[in-house]
Amino acid sequence: MERAAHGSLHPTLHEGAEADRVSLPFAPSHRLMAAAEKPTPTEIKLHQKSKVLEISFSDGKSFELPYEFLRVYSPSAEVRGHGPGQEVLQLGKKDVDILSLEPVGSYAVQPHFSDGHGTGIYSWDYLYDLGTNRQSLWQAYLKRLEAAGARRDA
């Protein structure tokens, strides 16, 4: 998606060799990139073949977040519940795809997954946190699956 003069985002799909991904370049203003500000995305790419969302931030950090990881860590109430201890373990998300990725204001994106889930709003802060803590969060998920006697493809 590209930022238009009035600040909204428009989808762009790369053709040819790039047809397996949707790219969402952002052009943050200097105000957003001030040192005191939190990092904001400069580019988001959906890699459909490898099922990875690649996100680059204004502080130079980049993260690759598998679709399955994003789905099982959806910030939606359907996954997180409405309070501590109400989280719902997500099963059978190994082959999930992201069908579309919609901007939410200038602070988040909302992916629509192939399993019908589309209520999670992923803020820039949340995506940055997921990227920073990906390994420990993934290991915690695998341990919860094991404790429940479940599998990723169940």
Domain ranges of the chain: 2-147
Q: Classify domain 2-147 by CATH number.
A: 3.30.2020.30
112: DSSP letter? E
Whole-prediction pTM: 0.79
Query: What tens digit of pLDDT does each residue of 23-49 get?
Result: 555 444 444 444 457 899 999 999 999
Stretches where the chain sits below pLDDT 70 are 1-36, 154
- For position 24, what pLDDT does the model report? 53
- For position 83, what pLDDT does the model report? 83
